[in-house]
Amino acid sequence: MIAARSTVVRTYIYALGVIFHEMLTGLRPYNADSLIDVILMHKKGPVPILTAELEHYQEMLNLMMAKDPNNRFRDAEGLLYFINQLEQRGTIKSPVR
């Protein structure tokens, strides 16, 4: 039961990564002529590479959209911890504090 919950949470983390990519770039992470091809890209394609001006988010995106769920953030707490570390290093600034 715990393993199933972890898989579900990591699936949500992946979906959040897709939304995060769209928020940063204004584009979907994968585009193709058919829905099947888009699904295959989500399953097997590489994580999209962000432009130079957004590269400070690449590691976080990689950890959110990793193809192997075991390579994603375990939960939202892990993601928030990572974001806080980026803020503390001065890599990103929080818009709200």
Domain count, the chain: 1
Q: Do the domain assignments include residue 72?
A: yes
Q: Do the domain assignments include residue 94?
A: no
* CB count in 10 Å sphere of residue 67: 13
Residue 80 parent element (H or E): helix 76-89
| CA-based torsion, 33, 40, 82, 77: positive or negative | positive
Q: What average pLDDT does the chain have? A: 92
> What CATH number is attached to the domain comprising 15?
1.10.510.10
Q: Do the domain assignments include residue 34?
A: yes
Model confidence band, residue 74 (pLDDT cutoffs 50, 70, 90): very high
Dump pLDDT digits (tens) for 84-95: 999 999 888 766
Dump pLDDT digits (tens) for 48-67: 999 999 999 999 999 999 99
Q: Do the domain assignments include residue 45?
A: yes
Q: Please give the Cα distance from 97 to 90 (Å, whole number).
A: 14
Q: Please give the Cα distance from 94 to 51 (Å, whole number).
A: 20
Q: Do the domain assignments include residue 84?
A: yes
The boundaries of the domain holding residue 73 are: 2-89
Q: Please give the Cα distance from 76 to 37 (Å, whole number).
A: 29
pTM of the model: 0.89
Q: Do the domain assignments include residue 95?
A: no
Supply the pLDDT for residue 97: 53
